[in-house]
Amino acid sequence: MSEKFDIGIYADFLIPMNSSKVKEKFFIGIKKNRIATVQPYKPQLKTKCKKFIFGKNMLCMPGLVNGHVHLPMTLFRGLEDDVPFHVWLFERILPLEQKIVDKGFIKAGTDLAALESIRFGVTTVNEMYFYLEETAKSIDKSGLRAIISQTFADFPLPEDKDLGRDKFAVVEKALKKYQDHSRIRVGLGPHAPYSCSDDLLVKIRDFAKLHKLPIHIHVSETKKEVDDSLNQYKKTPPQRLYELGILSDKTICAHCVHLNEEDQKIFTKTKAVVVHNPDSNLKLASGMAPISEYREKGISTMFGTDGTASNNDLSVLGAMDIGTKVQKLSQKKESSFGAYEAVRMATVEGARNLGYSDLGTIEEGMLADMILLDLSFPHLQPVNNIFSHLVYSAQGLEVDTTICDGKILMKNKKVLSLNQNQVFSNAQKWQKKIEKQLRTIKGE
């Protein structure tokens, strides 16, 4: 029989995420980078596959989407935990970045983050950091799908020494290089309303419109940010962004912990996206975005991990677990936010919110990004409710196979697209340099 599929998958359980239905004993056929068929399994289908993955006791589902992350910050993991947000950001992280971040740092940190993301079943990341092209090179090699945003801010950036201050030139160069890339897209990342002048934000708005680019920005993360904005501009951060014409369905706003009624109406009206980063908001004591309330008001929402200096891992399953539970507590309503909704946010809704119309469900014709999660663990048995198990029981490392754009990036829990030993030893080398530099910054 002729080979019909590049990859064929048998899965005991499948959640295609085009509805809440769970399918059993299904076959998914992949041709090139797209899903060619989804149908009940028959043994003869196996003979039509160049590669066949047998997912006995496994759940097949769309790859997870991470809506807000700073990948290279993996090298800062565990540093300066448990200090107040403004000390953490302005007295520790930003000075450290100025001293230490260069192309080598970006490669080492992004490689580690890519390895971790693949391991946790994340196939799409919405990234914002420095040295866009270095990040893109690492992401390209890892096989992940990404929107990589160029950071803009009024303050000097660590990359200025190599790339200069004209960030639009950096973006233009990257746009040329990646315009036809199947997995990498370029975006604009104004750091936050408090770190960008009106003038800079207007330039970013016009450039984004001209090139049809997404905008990725931190918004209303802390109460202090909102108070400072009210003092300086007599407007909340979303009101200011709205008046400047920054907000649209192509604007991805991380955090949005402190939105008043008027802010929320702006988000409903403009269709700007809220990225919920519960781990980071809890750890930095920023507060908790009332996501279930936002969703009731028709605001688009998705999950993010944020960088690992404030989380400290890149597990979207982890964010779903804590995000739903804290939502119940903060809204004082057990039913405020269910497991199925959380899985939607991390898959199909996340993909749509990032502008991918052909990603996030397992259906014929969609991009072939999917994972197999191993259910052969005591904490996932018996299989009463897949969605509940995913959100409330899974830890993240049960992911067995990760496929992105029709390529197998991990199989049998071993990442194939990166050399783990090399990535770890490179990260260790940076750990020594970072430790020394941090001591100098703190005057120790």
The CB density around residue 118, as the number of other CB atoms within 10 Å, is 25
- The residue number whose beta carbon is nearest to Zn ion equals 306
SS3 per residue for 187-239: EEEECCHHHCCHHHHHHHHHHHHHHCCCEEEEECCCHHHHHHHHHHHCCCHHH
Which is nearer to Zn ion, 17 or 314 (by Cβ)?
A: 314
Which is nearer to Zn ion, 8 or 307 (by Cβ)?
A: 307
Q: Which run of H or E residues covers position 295? A: helix 291-296
Q: Number of residues in contact with Zn ion, rule: CB under 5 A?
A: 1
Which is nearer to Zn ion, 16 or 158 (by Cβ)?
A: 158
The answer to whether 128 and 160 are in contact (CB under 8 A) is no
Which is nearer to Zn ion, 13 or 85 (by Cβ)?
A: 85
Task: Give the binding range for Zn ion (CB under 5 A) out of 5-13, 41-49, 114-122, 298-306.
Answer: 298-306
Contact mark string toward Zn ion, 303..322, x via CB under 5 A: ---x----------------
Tokens of 49: 């596959």
**Closest CB 277 distance from Zn ion, rounded Å:** 7
**Closest CB 133 distance from Zn ion, rounded Å:** 21
Backbone torsions φ then ψ of 56, nearest 5 degrees: -70, 130
**Closest CB 409 distance from Zn ion, rounded Å:** 25
Which is nearer to Zn ion, 306 or 369 (by Cβ)?
A: 306
**Closest CB 97 distance from Zn ion, rounded Å:** 13
Helix (H, G, I), strand (E, B) or coil at 279: helix
Tokens of 169: 């030139």
**Closest CB 10 distance from Zn ion, rounded Å:** 39
Q: Report how far residue 46's alpha carbon sits from residue 48's, in angstroms, rounded to the nearest whole number.
A: 5
Which is nearer to Zn ion, 306 or 349 (by Cβ)?
A: 306
251-255 and 273-276 beta bridge pairing? parallel
**Closest CB 68 distance from Zn ion, rounded Å:** 6
Contact mark string toward Zn ion, 253..292, x via CB under 5 A: ----------------------------------------
184-190 and 145-152 beta bridge pairing? parallel
**Closest CB 221 distance from Zn ion, rounded Å:** 8
Tokens of 65: 């989407």
Give the closest residue to 298 by CA, choosing from 264, 341, 250: 264
Task: Give the binding range for Zn ion (CB under 5 A) out of 11-19, 148-156, 187-195, 301-309.
Answer: 301-309
Strands (E), 278-434: 300-303, 370-374, 399-404, 407-411, 414-415
Which is nearer to Zn ion, 306 or 398 (by Cβ)?
A: 306
Interacting residue ranges for Zn ion, rule: CB under 5 A = 306
